[in-house]
Amino acid sequence: MRALCWMGVNDLQVDTVPDPTIVNPHDVLLKVGLTTTCGSDLHLLGGYIPSMREGDVIGHEYMGEVVEVGPEVRRLKVGDRVVVPSFLGCGKCWYCDHDEYSLCDNTHPKPELQEPELGYPTGGIPGYTHAFGGYAGSHAEFIRVPFGDVNAFTVPEGITDEQALFLSDAVPTGYMGADFAAIQPGDTVAVWGCGAVGLMAQKSAMLMGAGRVIAIDRLPERLALARDVIGSETIDYEQSDSVVEELREFTHGIGPDACVEAVGMEAHGTGPQYAYDRVKQALHLETDRGSALREAIMAVRKGGTLSIVGVYGLMDKFPLGILMNKGITIRTSQQPGQRYMPAMLEHVQRGELDPSFLVTHRMSLEESPRGYELFKDKQDGCLRAVFKP
Amino acid sequence: MSVADKAKGALSKVRPGSLQASRTLPIRADKDAIERVWTSRTAEIFDGIPMATATTRYGQTVRDWGLAVTVDLTLQEAVPDVAANTLAGKAVRRLKALVETGEAPTTDRNPSGRAA
């Protein structure tokens, strides 16, 4: 089959690779219908997250059709149209039993690579480094999905492929971000980042009862989406002397009740702190440029909640003292999409949530390296490039 | 004392990697079910691990996490860059996965550009 392979830092190539097969009895094989770029792929592409190997198939946000099932698969059948949350759960361990699928104890084939960094391994995820399991990714014609009955969700009639696609990662990550913000009716929620995840966090915050949602970004086309499609108020941080000051004034001196950080380790910014982060990251003295996260910590009101859904590695200059003295609650996780899938499908079916506007570029798999160029450099208004293998 | 002698002295104090290690995890099954998997699927549990000897010990049931199971592992030889306790951890994780789900996570037959 054809697949998009990581061949080195900033080097992606479409290559012919072996077809996946059923390996374990609960596996299903999917013919990938749609698969999309994700901001977290850029950390692999740029070499900021280690343990990629030349030839690895990337991609972790996808939907498709079941073409083969393992002998222990009970719920799914050939021909089912499904969407798969990025992190894989087993459905049996303590974590899955408590809806913490991304922390699954039984889906990581290479825990020895991750345990030294995290203490305990997470669940596995396709296309996202060997430290996260090393499963082949979704930017391919076919993909093997372990524990298909747990991880692949049938897409109901009436939901399009493009709507279903983003229920794999962008929507559940944003939805979790809003869920973690513990929103009370009328709350003010500030969201850093107007990429797909940030936009979905904003929409989810509204669905959960936020009174005001304020979006922070620098790209005019993304701020326009936040305003026009989602209904958020916006701050262009490149046009602002101080985002923290603006948020304080927006909220009558109180500060946002909750801040959702949906930017991650490659944040852009302004000022000397940003320059410092860029230099340290370039010299591999830290993995993260944390300007958005630090700003969110400063901006959130006393006793408020900080929800972190951006992807981070190892960050220095983390202002723990501010968190402690302001009594801030932090919640963060990789997304357990299985937990949110029934609610997300319901929102889409009711017409309350339509993530298909995130698609700005539709391409074949052969064009996917170009898609990543557009996505990485944010050219041509690229919010998400979607590939149809 | 020369610099070389100082270096030798320092190196002589570095502890060699241990060949023995133990790791514990709770497994959601009873002892008999765990022992059945331990004895029948040993090859899968220790795939890629140069095991010389390995035994299990059983502790208490930890709330709703399962029965605490310890794997005591002795390696035939050290594995470069991987501590013995990490490998014991890998073995007990595979045992847990096999018992709880019937299969061990794997990237066998994983498509990649390397194999093309």
Q: Domain boundaries in chain B? A: 16-101
A258 close to A307: Cβ distance less than 8 angstroms? yes
A23 falls in which pLDDT band (50, 70, 90)? very high
- Which CATH number applies to A2-169+335-388? 3.90.180.10
Within 8 A of B107 by CB-CB distance, chain A residues are 109-110, 133-136
Chain A contact probe: residue of B23, B28, B112 with most A CBs at under 10 A: B112
* DSSP annotation string for A42-110: HHHHTT-S----TTEE----EEEEEEEE-TT--S--TT-EEEE-SS---SSSHHHHTT-GGG-SSS-S-
Q: Domain boundaries in chain A? A: 2-169+335-388, 173-332
CA distances from A268 to A132, A195, A318 (A): 26, 13, 17
Q: Select from A23, A92, A136 the Cβ nearest to the Cβ of B28.
A: A92
Mean pLDDT of all residues belonging to chain A: 95
- Among A123, A124, A169, which residue's Cα sits nearest to residue A340? A169
> Looking at residue A36, what is its pLDDT?
98
Residue B115 reports pLDDT greater than 80: no
User: Coil, helix or strand for A112?
Assistant: helix
Q: Select from B64, B101, B113 the Cβ nearest to the Cβ of A92.
A: B101
Residue A315 reports pLDDT greater than 80: no
> Looking at residue A112, what is its pLDDT?
92
Kindly give the residue spans of alpha helices, DSSP state H, lying in chain A.
39-45, 94-97, 111-118, 148-151, 161-165, 170-180, 196-207, 220-225, 243-250, 272-282, 291-299, 320-326, 337-349, 368-377
- Tell me how close the Cα of B13 comes to any Cα of chain A, in angstroms: 24
pLDDT average, residue stretch A39-67: 94
Q: Phi/psi at A97 (nearest 5 deg)?
A: -60, -25
A20 falls in which pLDDT band (50, 70, 90)? very high
Using the beta-carbon criterion (under 8 Å), do B101 and A124 form an inter-chain contact? no
Identify the bridge partners of residue B21 per DSSP, sorted by sequence position. B73
pLDDT digits (tens, 9 = 90+) for A242-286: 999 999 999 999 999 999 999 977 777 777 777 777 777 777 776
Q: Select from B105, B112, B114 the Cβ nearest to the Cβ of A146.
A: B105
Q: Is A71 exposed, middle or buried (0-12, 13-18, 19+ CB in 10 A)?
A: exposed
pLDDT digits (tens, 9 = 90+) for A187-215: 999 999 999 999 999 999 999 999 999 99
DSSP assigned state of A312: -
> Looking at residue A53, what is its pLDDT?
96
Within 8 A of A94 by CB-CB distance, chain B residues are 26, 28, 64-66
Residue B11 reports pLDDT greater than 60: no
Q: Select from A17, A90, A111 the Cβ nearest to the Cβ of B89.
A: A111
Max distance between CA atoms of chain B, in angstroms, equals 61
pLDDT average, residue stretch B90-104: 98
Using the beta-carbon criterion (under 8 Å), do A90 and B107 form an inter-chain contact? no
Q: Is the dihedral of CA A237, A239, A242, A243 positive or negative?
A: negative
Using the beta-carbon criterion (under 8 Å), do A94 and B66 form an inter-chain contact? yes
Q: What is the dihedral of CA A35, A39, A45, A47, to 10 degrees?
A: -140
The helix or strand, by DSSP H or E, that contains position B38, with its residue range, turns out to be helix B31-40
User: For A124, how many CA atoms within 13 A lie in the half-sphere containing its CB?
Assistant: 27
Q: Is the dihedral of CA A294, A299, A305, A308 positive or negative?
A: negative
pLDDT average, residue stretch A275-299: 80
Max distance between CA atoms of chain A, in angstroms, equals 61
A221 close to A381: Cβ distance less than 8 angstroms? yes
pLDDT digits (tens, 9 = 90+) for A102-122: 999 999 999 999 998 899 999
- Among A86, A2, A5, A1, which residue's Cα sits nearest to residue A45? A5
> At the fourth CATH level, which superfamily is domain A173-332?
NAD(P)-binding Rossmann-like Domain (3.40.50.720)
> Looking at residue B23, what is its pLDDT?
97
A372 close to A12: Cβ distance less than 8 angstroms? yes
CA distances from A153 to A65, A85, A124, A166, A337 (A): 11, 9, 18, 13, 10
> Looking at residue B18, what is its pLDDT?
87
The helix or strand, by DSSP H or E, that contains position A305, with its residue range, turns out to be strand A305-308
Which class is B16-101 in CATH? alpha beta
pLDDT digits (tens, 9 = 90+) for A332-346: 999 999 999 999 999
pLDDT digits (tens, 9 = 90+) for A344-373: 999 999 999 999 999 999 999 999 999 999
A198 close to A217: Cβ distance less than 8 angstroms? yes
pLDDT average, residue stretch A145-161: 98
